[in-house]
Amino acid sequence: MAEAADLRSVLAALDALLIEERRAIRKLDGLAVDHAAVRKLTLVRLVQGFSQPELRAEGATLTRVIAALRQNGVLLAHARDCLRDAIAARSERPLSTDSHDRPVTRPGVRLRAAL
């Protein structure tokens, strides 16, 4: 039973993290999304360490967490596409001679293929 409680704890942590990640995605907070991805990977690896009977015992919770993982994946893909389109639109815009109109590289503005 202790192992099942551990699995429940891991799934609860993963579920809470997915809610946090979803907020970060909606805010387009790349740093928070990156941090969530690292923590998510750790939790998913923990889940993978449990036996099939333990996983089956938490089947309903696991199904809900998997659905949340998919939902966040869709949001990430959409956010990535929106950012890519915005960057493409900005870079195709003719630049004026005014120095204020030049594109600026800013820390934190980056696209990652993993999104």
**pLDDT per residue over 30-87, tens digit each?**
999 999 999 999 999 999 999 999 999 999 999 999 999 999 999 999 888 887 888 8
In 3-state terms, the chain is what percent helix, strand and coil (to 5)? 75, 0, 25
Beta carbons of 88 and 41 less than 8 angstroms apart? no
Q: Rounded to an integer, what distance in angstroms lies between the CA atom of residue 10 and that of residue 17?
A: 10
CA distance 85 to 68: 26
Q: How confident is the model at residue 4 (pLDDT cuts 50, 70, 90)?
A: low
pTM for this predicted structure: 0.70
9-13, 53-57, 81-85, 88-92: which has the minimum mean pLDDT?
88-92
